[in-house]
Amino acid sequence: MDGIHLLGEWYGCAAEMPEMTNAEALRTLCLRAAAASGMTIVGDRFHQFAPTGVTGTVLLAESHLAIHTWPEHGFVTIDVYVCNYTTDNSPKAEHLFRSMQHALRPERAEFQAIHRGGRDA
As annotated, the active-site residues are: 63, 68, 83
What is the 8-class DSSP label of residue 107?
S
What is the 8-class DSSP label of residue 21?
H
Nearer to its own copies, 98 or 116 (CB): 116
Question: Which residues lie below 8 Å from residue 1, measured CB to CB, with a gap of 6+?
Answer: 83, 84, 85, 117, 118, 119, 121
Q: Using CA atoms, how far apart are residues 110 and 95, in angstroms rounded to an integer? A: 17
Residues within window 63-102 making contact with its own copies, judged by CB under 8 A: 63-64, 66, 68, 70, 73-75, 77, 79, 81, 83, 85
Nearer to its own copies, 14 or 114 (CB): 114
Residues within window 29-68 making contact with its own copies, judged by CB under 8 A: 42-47, 49, 55-57, 59-61, 63-64, 66, 68
